[in-house]
Amino acid sequence: MDWASLYDPAMLQTLALTLKLAGVTTVVLLIIGTPLAWWLAQPGGLSKDVVGTVVSLPIVLPPTVLGFYLLIAMGPNSPLTALLGQKLSFTFAGLVVGSVVYSLPFVVNPIRNSFTAMGPRPMEVAATLRASPWDAFRTVALPLALPGISTGAILGFAHTVGEFGVVLMIGGAIPGRTKVLSVTIFDYVETLEWNKAHLLAGLMLVLSFAVILAMMLIERRLGARGGARP
Amino acid sequence: MIHASFKGRIGGFVLDAEFEALGHGVTALFGPSGCGKTTVLRCMAGLTRLPDGQLTVGAKTWQAGRKFTPIHRRAVGYVFQEASLFAHLSVRDNLCYGLKRAKGPLRVGEEEVVSLLGIAPLFERPTATLSGGERQRVAIGRALLSQPELLLMDEPLSALDRLSREEILPYLERLHARLEMPVILVSHDMTEVERLADRLVLMERGRVRAEGPLAPMLADPDLPLIHRPDLASVLEGEVVAVDDAYGLSQIAVPGGVIVVPGRLGPAGARRRMRIPAADVSLGRNPPSDTTILNALPATILSAEPEPNGSPLITVRLKLGRETGGALLLARISRKSWDSLGFAPGEPIVARLKATSLSHPSTSMETAPDWQEDDDVRD
């Protein structure tokens, strides 16, 4: 087979864009998701159940449904657009916002579980040892939740890489701006460029395998440090 | 001086407790599981907030009316039932977590705590591999190093097996002897209380039933403590002589001198003895032909028959013939009491076997909890 003929500059472009999108999304998710997970892990009333449910919605909603609402929220007539002074749909920033919403449960839930498993005791101990709430969060809660945080980061990254429906709804497929890997594969199949589709799909397969394997190895490594023993 | 008062409702539980503790020594909060003693301790630390609470420690008021000092601004050390070491930190980082954050003058140094609690050999080991007793020692050291003005201990031994308990008790007794800071010890185990406490606050169903110095509380005929099956008196005295050849020590207590097995010197050292009431017998004359080492003149104060038609009677004695003698408890059969015709006020001779005495540094007595349940939390 003539591998050179498979080379397509669009391929590198789409790969770079996909990794950039997943990277930025993961960072945003960790910044938003960690405090959110902490809040959700504290005992509380109905408001936490409601927010927890909203966070988990993207797991069950068809991506097209989510994408549809996001498209409306980012469209020319939405309050969000009025607030920002420009519309987010069909932009990279819009893709990040969509991906954050779409991958939120995959980051928040593992971190939340880590915080819950930790229980209130370590924070109580830290407080009796003169640590202010922020100090205790930083030096006790975060390190103890590290397995959950790394799982969340990896899942969030991988889930964003594999995103298709939401991206298509809010981003279209503008090369270099919003055309990500999964959309490119879809295009190759549509235009009967099977070999190129093979190459990219295989790449995705290897990447996903590596991600899950890395996740398990990291978890075992962190787990060996002891978790939250009494 | 420490004054604490907490009133309020937590779930279905009503707490209405008020007591005082001395500015030094160990005050035990004692009572059955579910009586609210752990809640009181959590309120003192600021871990639980009851709106109607008041707490002053020395010159500082930590809670009063609307004033509520947050936990991390209170100079308290708290030892939880489970050691709760930070799994992600080394033994040394655990130990020094509070020390790094402590404010004010250094009262206890790392070296002193490490040697008091025998922690040095643990530094090399991963935190997760420490035994229960070792973990609790590190936790106690960690609390001490946060430079507390008040040390709160919530049944620090109850999560441990008996061997680990016996491993830690001597360390606690050393702390008790060496450190100045006041300690509030929550316990439902009389053995712990007898060995460590100076003052007792007896709790029942969310209220303080009685409070006072340990020895008189243990012998108070109006309190249920006098009827516990493993009744014992606690006497404190000073070593006056050590018989090296026979391995015996003489300890002077108010009203008499007691011979105790073991070389407990040096002379002048203060020692605490636990004398089981069942090992004290009474007679009118000094024994002439017996293996009993201790025959002490004493005076009968009163006698309390055990309830429910028990064959036993508990006799409260004071050592010596003068006032001010130490309280001694004897539990004998009612039959002997009646047939010998003893009466309150009568001078008698109390006999105790030297081998029945236990003292802090050698005692290995079992720890039967006189309360029916041994729940972890209340």
- A130 vs A193: CA distance, rounded Å: 64
- A88 vs A171: CA distance, rounded Å: 9
Give me the tens of pLDDT residue by residue for chain B, a chain 378 residues long. 899 999 999 888 899 999 999 888 899 999 988 888 999 999 999 999 998 999 999 889 999 988 999 999 999 999 999 889 999 999 999 999 999 998 888 888 888 889 888 899 999 999 999 988 899 999 999 999 999 999 999 998 887 888 888 878 888 888 877 778 899 999 988 888 988 899 999 999 999 999 999 999 998 988 989 999 889 999 988 999 998 898 888 899 999 999 888 888 788 888 888 899 988 989 888 777 777 788 889 999 999 888 888 999 999 999 988 888 899 999 999 999 988 888 888 899 999 876 555 554 433 333 333 333 333 333
3-state secondary structure of B71: helix
How far does Cα A209 stand from its chain's mean position? Answer: 17
What's the gap in Å between the CA of B368 and the closest CA on chain A? 25
Tell me if B86 sits within 8 A of A119, measured CB to CB: no
In which order are the strands placed within the sheet that holds B248-253? B256-261, B248-253, B232-243, B270-276
What's the gap in Å between the CA of B324 and the closest CA on chain A? 42
Report yes or no on A44 lying in a domain. Answer: yes
Chain B CA closest to residue A145: B88
pLDDT digits (tens, 9 = 90+) for B234-285: 998 899 999 889 888 889 999 999 988 888 878 888 888 889 998 898 988 8
Tell me if A92 sits within 8 A of A25, measured CB to CB: no
Helical H runs in A6-162?
Answer: 9-41, 46-60, 63-74, 79-84, 92-118, 121-128, 133-136, 142-144, 146-161
Pairing outcome for strands B183-187 and B26-30: parallel
Tell me the CB-side half-sphere exposure of residue B322, using CA atoms within 13 A: 4
Residue of A123, A125, A134, A146 for testing the chain B interface, max B β-carbons within 10 Å:
A125
Within 8 A of B78 by CB-CB distance, chain A residues are: 124-125, 128
CATH code reported for the domain at B2-218: 3.40.50.300
Copy the structure tokens of residue B118.
Answer: 């025998």
Residue of A128, A132, A137, A150 for testing the chain B interface, max B β-carbons within 10 Å:
A128
The DSSP output letter for A226 is T
Within 8 A of A143 by CB-CB distance, chain B residues are: 88
Chain A residues with a Cβ under 8 Å from any Cβ in chain B: 121-122, 124-133, 135-136, 139-140, 143-144, 146, 225-230
Does A129 sit within 8 Å of B86, measured CB to CB?
Answer: no
Interfacial B residues in 55-84 facing A (CB < 8 Å): 70-73, 76-78, 80, 82-84
Chain B CA closest to residue A119: B84
Indicate which CATH number applies to the domain containing A126. 1.10.3720.10
- B21 vs A67: CA distance, rounded Å: 65
Q: What's the one-letter identity of residue B46? A: G
3-state secondary structure of A179: coil
Tell me if B189 sits within 8 A of B162, measured CB to CB: no
Task: Quote the longest CA-to-CA distance of chain B.
Answer: 69
Q: What's the one-letter identity of residue A114? A: S
**Lowest-pLDDT range, A38-42, A129-133, B197-201, B281-285?**
B281-285
Helical H runs in chain B?
Answer: 37-45, 91-101, 110-117, 132-145, 162-178, 190-196, 214-218, 334-340
pLDDT score of B368: 30
What total number of domains does chain A contain?
1
Residue A146 CB coordination number (10 Å): 16
Q: What's the one-letter identity of residue B148? A: P
Does B101 sit within 8 Å of A135, measured CB to CB?
Answer: yes
| ipTM of the predicted assembly exceeds 0.95 | no
Residue of A123, A124, A129 for testing the chain B interface, max B β-carbons within 10 Å:
A129
pLDDT score of B352: 87
Does B87 sit within 8 Å of A228, measured CB to CB?
Answer: yes
Cβ-nearest to B98 among A130, A227, A229: A130
How far does Cα B107 stand from its chain's mean position? Answer: 24
Interfacial B residues in 93-112 facing A (CB < 8 Å): 97-98, 101-103
Cβ-nearest to A226 among B87, B102, B103: B87
Within 8 A of B87 by CB-CB distance, chain A residues are: 144, 225-229
Per DSSP, what are the bridge partners of residue B234?
A: B274
- A8 vs A13: CA distance, rounded Å: 9
Domain-wise residue ranges, chain B: 2-218, 232-356
pLDDT score of A204: 84
Does A129 sit within 8 Å of B87, measured CB to CB?
Answer: no
Report yes or no on A105 lying in a domain. Answer: yes
Report yes or no on A230 lying in a domain. Answer: no
Any idea which residue has 């929550």 for tokens? B186
Per DSSP, what are the bridge partners of residue B237?
A: B271
- B10 vs B34: CA distance, rounded Å: 12
pLDDT score of B53: 92
Within 8 A of A133 by CB-CB distance, chain B residues are: 72
In which order are the strands placed within the sheet that holds B347-352? B280-283, B347-352, B294-305, B312-319, B327-333
Report yes or no on A229 lying in a domain. Answer: no
Question: Touching check for B143 and chain A: CB below 8 Å?
Answer: yes
Does B71 sit within 8 Å of A127, measured CB to CB?
Answer: yes
Residue of A123, A130, A135 for testing the chain B interface, max B β-carbons within 10 Å:
A130
CATH number belonging to the domain at B232-356, selected among 3.40.50.2300, 2.40.50.100, 2.60.60.20, 1.10.10.10: 2.40.50.100
Residue-number span of the structural domain to which A86 is assigned = 3-224
Question: Global pTM?
Answer: 0.83
What's the gap in Å between the CA of A35 and the closest CA on chain B? 20
